[in-house]
Structure formats: C-alpha cells, structure tokens
Chain A
Amino acid sequence: MLRLLEGWIKSALLEIQEYARLQSATVRGCVTRPFYFRDVVEQFEQIGIGSLTVVLLTGFFTGAVLALQTGITLDQFGARPFVGRLISASMIKELGPVLTGLMLAGRVGSGIAAELGSMVVTDQINALRTLGTDPVRKLVVPRVLAGVFMAPVLTVVANTVGIIGGWLIAVFQLRVASSLYWTSVIEGLYLEDAWMGLIKPFCLGFAIVTIGCHVGLRTHGGTQGVGRATTNAVVASSVAVIAVDFFVTRLLITLLY
C-alpha cells in the first residue's frame, strides 16, 4: 500500500516537473529562433477559424437560455427590463470565457493530444528530432501562440452572439423593448468587467493548449495510449479551465476592483 502511494506520488511529481519543463521550453521557443512562421499561421487558422462554429453556437444558446431563465426570476421582482444588464455582465465576466474555454478544451485540447500522441507512437516525434527539428518549437510553440491569442478573440465572439441571443429572447419572448435591452446591456458593463473578460481567456488558452501538448507528447502504449491521452487531455484541461478561472478571477478582483 505504501509502495503504491509512493509510486503514485513519484509519477505525479514527474508529471508536474515535465509540464513545467514544457512550459519553460515553450516560452523560450516563443522568444528565440528558429521560429516556424508557417506553422503558426496554420495553427491560428485551425484553432481560431476551426473553433468558430462551436463557439458561435454555444455562445448564442447560452445567452438565449440565460435570458429565458433569468426573465422568470426577474419577473418576481418586477425587474424584467434589467435582463440585458444581467446577460451582459454574466456573459462577459464569466460565461463567455469559461464556456469558450470548455469548448476549446473539448475541441482543441483533445485534437492536439490525439495528433501529437499519434506522432509519438508512430515515431514521428523521434523522426523530427533526428532531422534536427526541436518538436517543442515546431509543434508546441505554434499551438500555444494560436491558443493564447485566439481564445480571447473567440471569447469576444461568444460574448457578442450570447448578448444577441439574449436580445432575441428578451424582445420576442419576454416582450422587453429592444432599446431598453441594449441600454441595459451597456449600463450593466464597467471597464473592469471588460478587462476581466479579456484577460481570462489568455490564461485559459495557455492552460488548454499546454495541457493538450503535454499529454500528447507523453503518450505511450500504441493506439490505446492515444485514446487514453485524448480523454486525459479533455478531462485535465476542462478541470484546469474551471480552476484557472477561479484563481484568475480572484486575482483580478484584487487588482481591478
């Protein structure tokens, strides 16, 4: 039993050490040559444009259902016209970044783990190293840059369509005047909220992609291992999204408000 615990602690510490090493190698790869510009552009397209549909749909329906649910509650206080304020604050500060993060964890995190995992088990990563290419610079850096910079863009898109979804429900279902809704949306927003909504996705994007890369590059055990790595990447990055969101929120509340 003690041996089992010792083994578990050792392997957990090894994972943390390797994750930290990957992060530091990635940061070094971002600021030193060689730099694989074509791969960076390709990843911006794959992670950014490729995730647009899922983010659009998630954002829209989240805003719409939020309007439906809060409309009923607000009615009890005669505050139905304030639905816009609630939706904009909720979407921009919390739901937009977190839901976009979760969608990226599912789509991008799993994709990266599966792709890199397959490359590991088919010796393609070793082939890259043999051919003189550092896999971190070639594969990890472009994905991390794309994740870090596209997550905020996608979050803004999710926020926008979420507020539009809320507007449709507010106008056609809750019978709130359109002008009243938009006034409420703007009144409910403060500059600090916008900063919070913009800063969080940078951290979430970094966490999702680095976890996906780490899990993918540590894949072992053939095709079964790739399946395991994919599942682990989704689970770990989804939990990381919620946890990082909490800690960054706590930090930003201290710094901004």
Chain B
Amino acid sequence: MNKIRLVIQYELTTLFARKSYLRMVFLMPIIGFLVYSAAALINRGIAPEGVSAFFGGSPTESVQGVVDYAGIIREVPEEFEDKLELAASEAQAQRMTEDGRLSAYYVISSNYLQSGEILYVQRDYNFLSTENEAAALQELITWNLFSDKQLAQRYNDPIQPKVIFMRERIEKDFGGPQNFWLPYGLMLLFYLLIIGSSSMMLNSITQEKQNRVIEMLLTSISTDEMLIGKTIALGLAGLFQTIIWLGTSYTLLILSGRQFALPESFVLPPSILAWGLAYFLLGYGLYSSLMAGLGALVPNPKEGSQATLVVIFPLIVPLFFSNLVASAPNAPLFVFFSIFPLTSPISMISRMSATAIPAGQLALSIGLLTLAIIFSIRAVGRLFRAQALLSGKPFRVKEFLQAFRLHGT
C-alpha cells in the first residue's frame, strides 16, 4: 500500500510539474473564454473604447434604438431603459448608432399593425445577431399594445409550468438547429477528456519502457502496485482536468446564456455535471486499463501512439453520428451507444443533454460499464507482466486482441 502511495505521489508531482499537462488543462478553458469574449465583443459591436470597454461593459453599448412610425410605443417602461431608446427619426437613430450610443436600431413601419414589418439596422455585421435580440423590443411592443400590464406580462411569459412526470421518458422540448451544439459539444468534450487522461497512462508506461526505468521499478515494486498507482494518480489528474473543463463549460454556457440570450436547449443542468464526473471516472477506468495493456505490448511511445487507434476506435464511432443525437436521442442506435460499455462514457452524457434517460437504461449502462472495467483490468493485469514490459518486440494488433481473448475470460 505504501509503495502504491509512492507511485501515486511521484506520478502526480511529475505530471503537475509538466508544462504540457498544465497547457492541456488550462489552455482549452482559456481558449473558451477568449472565444466567448471575442463573440461577446462582436455581439456588442466593436467598442470604440477598445477591449477595456468590453470588459467594463459600456452602458450605452448594448442599447438599441427604436424609431416608431406606427405610433404604438407610447411609453418606454423603466425596465427597458437600459435596452431600448426611442429615436425621433431614422436619421437621428443612424447618427446615434454611428456615434456609438446605440448598437443598432429598429424601424417600426407605419403599417406595422397590418404587416408586422420592422426594419433592423445594425452598425456592423454580427454573425451572432439573431432574432433573439429582438426579445426586448417584442416585450416593449406587447407592453404598449396591451393596456393591461399584467395581461402583457402573461402574454410575454404565458406559462410557469410545474412539471410532474407520469412516465419516466419525457422528451425535452427542443426545436431548431441550435439543439445540435450541446449534445455534440458534450460528446466531444468527454471524448477529449477520456482519451486525454487514458493516453497519459499509455504515455507513462511507454516512457518508462523507453527510459529503461521499468526494469529498475520491477525490482522494487510489483506490476500490480505499479498499475494501481498509475491508474489512481492519472485518474486524479484526469479528474482535475475534467472538473476544470466541465466547470469552464458550465460557466461559459451560463455567461453565454446571459450574453447571447441562448435558448433553453443550451442550458446545462447541474445534474449532468455529477453524471459527467461519474461517466468520466468509469470511462477513464475502462480506457486507461486498455491503454495500460497497450502500453505493456508496444516497445516505445511512437509505436504506442500509432497503436492507440486500436483502443480508441469504439469511442470514435459515436462521434460520426453525434450530429443526430439532438434530433433523435432515443433512436435505437443512440440507446445502444449509451449502453454499450465501449461507447457509453461519451454517448450517455450526450444523450442526457438531449433527453431524459429512463432509470433502467442508466442502471444498465453503469452496470455494464462497471463489468467491462473489471473484465478489462483482469485481462490487462495478466498482460501487464515483466516479460511483456521488457520486451522490445514490435506491436501486433492480433497479439493485443488475442491476449484479451485468452486472458479476459
């Protein structure tokens, strides 16, 4: 036990001192925040005050103008003052926009009540600009059209549902192409996390083989102690990375939701974070043990990275279909992917973001994944022996698969 602790301690301190690991952990979140910031900057229009204005949040920058030729806006209530400002004419609105006092303006046509026609004039092209931004104007118009404020409130926010599930399987109400992003993003995120963490196992073993340290280690610790120590240490490192990445994703989604008025389909329920951690750990358990088996058989890191495809291929397959998860999360194919142990670590989380998963499927998925981990660890434990670790033979796929077939049972 003490030697396992020493292996964990060594692996963790070495890993956390490695720039490449720290880059991997923190670079993605930093890129995420940069992309978000850039998108937010574009969304607000290019601030004349520069980036500091963006971070400071110029109060006038997000205000949009309204030119009302229909004469329906009698009043701008207080709660709309930081969003919308009435302009007397298009010329005035244009000047204010050019001056940077408005980010854009709407022109409500004189026959609006008959045609519903509204012109939206924006200072700069903004790819993130959508009809969602018109939500404030829509509320303002409603507020003015209804004489009863409460009625206007109900019209704008008609239902406050209390949901009671009679059946386990409740489809979320998704519509629109944007639904694709969250399940796809989660699948990709978990793919990167699981493969990234499991690859650290392969890398650690092959480096020790290449440095010839493995022979020194084998005279001091058993292969089981080595394997357990590495699995725990690299799992903790992977968990740290997962928490950072998931936390960042969650924060970015919340920020983006506020900034870009993202629809409901982009909201990541906190329970998914908990399931995400569980599936990460199970996925890591399975794939790191497979990588350990691979590491025992490949002679050096170069061949190791080439042979990785043998192990990660099952995890790649769901990615081919990931764009369809959102539209058909309960299609038999995705149900299979989310239950089959080699694909479930990334597929279940992806499905979870698109639909409510029946408890039976969740239990089956976790049960099978746990069994697969036990099977894999037992097989790899037999593969992870000195003779294989000290061998310099080139890697053969057949040998790897055969070893699993023989020893796994």
Check if A and B associate: no
